[in-house]
């Protein structure tokens, strides 16, 4: 059984999507439509912009979403997923690829999400940190004992968990986790505390936009970040998508669930190979590849 997975923020790179635009009429049409919907030429930044320009909030999330969903559209003849999932932002890409959401509505929600998250980041100094080499329960326990807001945010794979929260609380948690035996406690260069209670203003803003958007039954089960299990009901998909901004990304649990439900192969759709690497951490023999324009 084939599982198609879609990357999240951080996978962007200069020139991304240019090969699709130049080699596919479908891609050209969708990229041009994206420029119209967003009201600026995101294609110019994606194809010719610098790394710094790609890091702009209004660009990063839509750029990764566009690369993933347009690539999925270009390989549609061979795109037959038994299940899909996306890491954080990638969940929206997976919903478009599985026909739960239209390309246009998905792009509008991604743009709204990016702006809402940026606004929430500016309300309080906040950050994230990667904790390497500790069991999840140790990290969770330390976070509950630190004064201030700090929570487990991204369960990426066994021994790799990202924490998120107010800057002083994250710094204190990193000190305590290092003392507890973490191989690394690395502050991440991000603008805010994603997947933490500090994203509540963004969650509220996005909730009304999601509620007003038409969702359909996907062509295959979608394994959502919040519940780490297969979901097909449109109303449940919407609820989980709203909750995602303040809840942790249960990617380790999602990978386990996909494998337990019969996945024998994972294909990453979009920039980078991060998600393939995480699957390999669970099982070095697991069949992983990148989707490619033929």
Residues with catalytic function: 88, 195
Q: How many helices and strands, by DSSP H and E, does the chain display?
A: 13, 10
> Is the torsion defined by CA of 42, 123, 239, 10 positive or negative?
positive
> Is the torsion defined by CA of 120, 275, 249, 35 positive or negative?
positive
Residue 161: strand pairing partners: 131, 155
Packed helices 90-97 and 103-121: angle between N→C axes, nearest 10 degrees: 170
Question: Exposed, middle or buried by CB within 10 Å (0-12, 13-18, 19+), for 291?
Answer: buried
Of the candidates 90, 149, 151, the one whose C-alpha atom is nearest the C-alpha of residue 274 is: 90
Extended strands (E) in the chain:
2-6, 83-86, 126-132, 150-157, 160-166, 184-187, 222-223, 230-231, 265-268, 287-290
> Can you tell me which residue has the tokens 């030429």?
41
């Amino acid at each position: 059984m084939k599982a198609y997975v879609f990357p999240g923020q951080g996978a962007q790179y200069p020139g991304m999507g240019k090969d699709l635009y130049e080699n596919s009429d479908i891609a050209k049409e969708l990229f041009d439509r994206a420029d119209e919907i967003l009201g600026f030429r995101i294609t110019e930044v994606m194809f010719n912009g610098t790394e710094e320009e790609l890091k702009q909030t209004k660009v990063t999330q839509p750029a990764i979403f566009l690369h993933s969903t347009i690539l999925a559209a270009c390989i549609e003849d061979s795109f037959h997923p038994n299940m899909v999932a996306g890491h954080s932002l990638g969940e929206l890409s997976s919903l478009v690829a599985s026909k739960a959401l239209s390309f246009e509505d998905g792009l509008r929600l991604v743009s709204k999400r990016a702006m809402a998250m940026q606004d929430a980041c500016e309300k309080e100094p906040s950050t994230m940190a990667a904790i390497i080499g500790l069991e999840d329960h140790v990290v969770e326990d330390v976070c509950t004992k630190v004064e201030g807001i700090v929570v487990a945010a991204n369960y990426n794979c066994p021994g790799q968990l990202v924490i998120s929260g107010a800057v002083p609380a994250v710094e204190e948690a990193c000190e305590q986790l290092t003392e507890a035996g973490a191989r690394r406690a690395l502050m991440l260069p991000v603008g805010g505390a994603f997947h933490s209670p500090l994203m509540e203003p963004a969650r509220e803003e996005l909730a009304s936009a999601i509620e007003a958007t038409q969702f359909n039954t996907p062509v295959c089960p979608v394994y959502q970040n919040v519940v780490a299990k297969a979901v097909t009901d449109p109303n449940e998909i919407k609820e989980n998508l709203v909750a995602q901004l303040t809840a942790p990304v249960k990617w380790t649990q999602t990978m386990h669930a996909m494998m337990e439900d019969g996945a024998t192969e994972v294909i990453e759709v979009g920039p980078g190979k991060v998600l393939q690497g995480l699957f390999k951490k669970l099982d070095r023999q697991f069949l992983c590849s990148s989707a490619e324009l033929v």
